[in-house]
Chains A and B, each alone.
Chain A
Amino acid sequence: MLEVRNITKRFGNLVAVKDVSMSVRPGELRAIIGPNGAGKTTFFNMISGYFPPTKGSILFQGKDVTHVPAHLRVGLGMGRTFQITEVFPELTVHENVLTAAEVAARQTLHMLPNRADAKLANDVAAEMLALVGLGAKADRLVGELSHGDQRTTEIAMALAQLPRLLLLDEPTAGMGDQETYEITTLIRRLHKERNYTIVLIEHDMRVVFHLADYITVLDQGGLLAEGRPDEIAASEAVQAAYLGESQ
């Protein structure tokens, strides 16, 4: 599904990511972890197309997308959410998700409302809102919702674009325990029941070890380890990297 081949990113003299590869299979949930400054976000931004790598290539469903900008990757089936919540705060939850569905249905040039368009987009929006459990809050303004519900709205927006791969940038960032639990449950359900392929960055290790099929550990821009959660938990190199950070 997603093939990352030996990508490197330099910012001037700083090598933020060096020679990292990763292969994600369909239906897999991959977590990317690492101490602060390990290059996770840079790595993630290259996958989502925010900027291209200096070297290396990225393949999505066999197609080279290394230099495809982020907004075009959406059309190819890569949906994403953001570390900092990005929603349309003065629109309702339904309007947020509806707009995402309309764009995905290629209706951006449809200047007169019609039933067929509206039904198509409304059906998708309603399905995704039900899926993430925001159906009852559909008519609330997103800006009025709790942080957790705003992030869930973001996930529903990404889902409304019918992605084959879901990229989640720190889905639990800034959340309390209850919200973290709820969003973790949601992601698990999307993965297990709906079979979404998901790649996420996450700081909260409980979340990572609860969710991930495979974990990629970055440290100082390089690939430190890769494996199943139990393998990563047992890895001395990983423990050293994290302990090194805390000292």
Chain B
Amino acid sequence: MSAEIGTGATAGAIGTRRTPAVPKWVMLAVVWAILIAVPYWLPLLGGYTALAGRVLVFGLAAMGLNLLLGFTGVLSFGHAAYFGLGAYGAGLTLRYLAHSTPLAMLLGTLLGGLAGTLFGLLIVRRRGVYFAMCTIAFGQLWYYLAYSWNDFTGGFDGLRDFHREPIGFGPLTLDITDGGNKFYFFLLAVFALAVGLMGLLVRSPFGHTLRAIRENERRARFLAIPVERQIWLSFSISCFFTALAGTLYALLNNFADPLALHYSLSGYLVVMCVMGGMRTFWGPLVGAAVFVVLQDYISSMTVNWMSFVGAIFVIVVLFFPRGLLGMRRTRKSV
């Protein structure tokens, strides 16, 4: 699956005029066919549909992060903050405000996205390690807030006592409350919309300026690209997508826990991007799939699952320095 995703989609994400060996639309059709058919083939391999839901959620979060990491060349080690804020925003909305899934998603996404937008303003002039350190520190702030505000957030035990609600479309109602295929398809639809938007974004003139900043910031500046403003926007947009993924996480589990805000999750998201291939559009999804499936499989055998995931990460980085999908993208001359 992973290898197939690579060819068509990555070339498109970079916006080249080069024609890949297999037409792009064929590859995209294959990718989406695989994702849509998950409930039918995954059980045959011993998986379960909720696992695929987790892959989509973390895949979306990692792809959101990758707008910043892979497409702008700026490292954030604090994206769990926006993921977690999205999750808590959605959970708190459902618990205290209204029994509306769309409203919960909207408010959660706004909470995480706007927090990122405001914080981004403060750190946009920092670079490299300094930028990454700032993002970690800011992320941990929310973690401790959720951790210690017992009455409101449930503290260490997490936020419970809420659950996703059926969604009404006029006379029709989409009941996503059980854990079945309907909820998976709902996740997939949101994922598809978000990813479609990202795909347009990286192909736009705005996306091209981000790519230019990644390649050579000094040159980008002299091209009259407003580098700070573009990085800020990239950071903000990236936070919105990751926050959206966070709201889905809360809906998936009917639960939001402080670990969704913890910097270790920020690290996992970066690992997903790097492992899958951060210079590719679909890489983070592949990274998330590998990560989530490994975590699920190994953690059923040992609590030290991270040692194994870590070892596999090291192997991938050594043998596929550009990530699993990055291998497909050796953009040789025609």
Which residues does A use to contact B, with CB under 8 Å? 70-72, 74-75, 80, 82, 86-92, 94-95, 98-100, 102-105, 107-113, 117, 121, 138-141, 144, 157, 161
Whether A108 lies near B215 (C-beta < 8 A) is: no
Residues of B with C-beta under 8 A to A98: 208
**Whole-angstrom distance between the Cβ of A139 and the nearest chain B Cβ:** 6
Complex: chain B residue closest to A75, CB-CB: B224
Contact A103 B223, beta carbon cutoff 8 Å: yes
Contact partner of A95 (CB less than 8 A), chosen from B15, B201, B204, B334, is B15
User: Hey, which chain B residues are within 8 Å of A139, CB to CB?
Assistant: 16-18, 333-334
Query: How far is B78's CA from A216's CA once the two chains are assembled, in angstroms?
Result: 54
**Which residue of chain B lies nearest to A102 when distances are taken between CB atoms in the complex?**
B205
Given contacts A87-B216, A112-B204, A113-B205, 12 further A-B contacts (CB under 8 A): A87-B219, A90-B331, A94-B17, A95-B211, A102-B205, A102-B209, A103-B225, A108-B205, A109-B233, A117-B204, A144-B333, A157-B223
Contacts of A99 in B (CB 8 A): 208-209, 211-212, 223
Bound CA span A177–B116, Å: 53
Please count how many residues in chain B sit with their CB below 8 Å of the partner chain's CB atoms: 30
Is A86's CB under 8 angstroms from B16's CB?
no
B215:A91 contact, CB within 8 angstroms: yes
Per the 8 Å Cβ criterion, residues 201-231 of B in contact with A are: 201, 203-209, 211-212, 215-216, 218-219, 221-226, 230
Q: How far is the CB of A149 from chain B (nearest CB, A)?
A: 12
Contacts of B207 in A (CB 8 A): 111
What B residues does A138 contact at CB under 8 A?
17
Distance of B22 from chain A, by nearest CB (Å) = 18
**Chain A residues with Cβ under 8 A from B212's Cβ?**
88, 91, 99
Chain A residues within an 8 Å CB radius of B42: none
Partner of A111, one of B15, B201, B216, B223: B201
Q: Would you call B137 an interface residue if the criterion is a C-beta within 8 Å of the partner chain's C-beta atoms?
A: no
Residues on A with beta carbons closer than 8 Å to the beta carbon of B18: 92, 139
Interface string of B13-49 (1 = CB under 8 A from A): 0011110000000000000000000000000000000
Cα-based distance from A95 to B203 in the complex (angstroms): 11
User: Which chain A residue has the least Cβ–Cβ distance from B230?
Assistant: A108
When distances are taken between beta carbons in the complex, the residues of chain A under 8 Å from B230 are 108
Q: Decide if the interface of chain B is mainly helix, strand, loop or mixed.
A: helix
Query: What are 16 A-B residue pairs whose CB atoms fall within 8 Å in the complex?
Result: A70-B222, A86-B216, A86-B218, A88-B219, A90-B215, A92-B17, A95-B16, A95-B211, A99-B208, A99-B209, A99-B212, A103-B209, A105-B205, A108-B225, A109-B233, A139-B18
Q: Which residues of A contact B219 (CB under 8 A)?
A: 86-88
What is the minimal beta-carbon distance from A124 to any residue of chain B, in angstroms?
Answer: 12
Known: A99-B211, A103-B209, A108-B230. A140 touches B333 (CB 8 A): yes
Docked complex Cα distance between A80 and B222 (Å)? 9
Closest chain B residue to A94 by CB distance?
Answer: B17
User: Within the complex, what minimum Cβ distance (angstroms) separates B308 from chain A?
Assistant: 33
A166 vs chain B, min Cβ distance (A): 14
Q: Give A213 Cβ to nearest chain B Cβ, in Å.
A: 26
Question: Which A residues are in CB contact (< 8 Å) with B333?
Answer: 139-141, 144
B207 → chain A, closest Cβ, in Å? 8
Out of A71, A80, A90, A104, which one reaches B221, CB within 8 Å?
A71
Docked Cα-Cα span, A95 to B220, in Å, equals 13
Using known A-B contacts A74-B223, A86-B216, A108-B206, determine if residue A91 contacts B211 with beta carbons closer than 8 Å. Answer: yes
Any chain A CB within 8 A of the CB of B145?
Answer: no
B200 close to chain A: CB less than 8 A: yes
A157 to B219, CA, bound (A): 11
A153 to B203, CA, bound (A): 22
Whether B216 pairs with A110 at a CB distance below 8 angstroms is: no
- Cα A71 to Cα B225 with chains together (Å): 8
CB proximity of B194 to chain A, nearest CB, Å: 14
Q: State whether A71 and B211 are in contact (beta carbons under 8 Å apart), knowing that A86-B216, A95-B15 are contacts in the complex.
A: no
Chain B positions within 8 Å of A140 at CB level: 333-334
Indicate whether A103 sits within 8 Å of B224 (C-beta atoms), given known contacts A94-B17, A141-B333.
yes
Contact A161 B204, CB 8 Å, known A88-B215, A99-B211, A139-B17: no
* B226 CB contacts on chain A under 8 angstroms: 71, 108
CB pair B216–A95 under 8 Å, yes or no, is: no
| Cα A161 to Cα B219 with chains together (Å) | 14
A110 x B206 contact (CB < 8 A): yes
Q: For the complex, what is the distance from the CA of A94 to the CA of B218, rounded to whole Å?
A: 19
Instruction: Give which listed residue, A70, A72, A89, A161, contacts B215 with CB less than 8 A.
Output: A89
Which residues of A have CB within 8 Å of B208? 95, 98-99, 102
Query: Closest CB-CB distance, A86 to chain B, in whole Å?
Result: 4
CB closest residue in chain A, given B203:
A113
Chain A nearest CB, measured from B319 CB (Å): 21
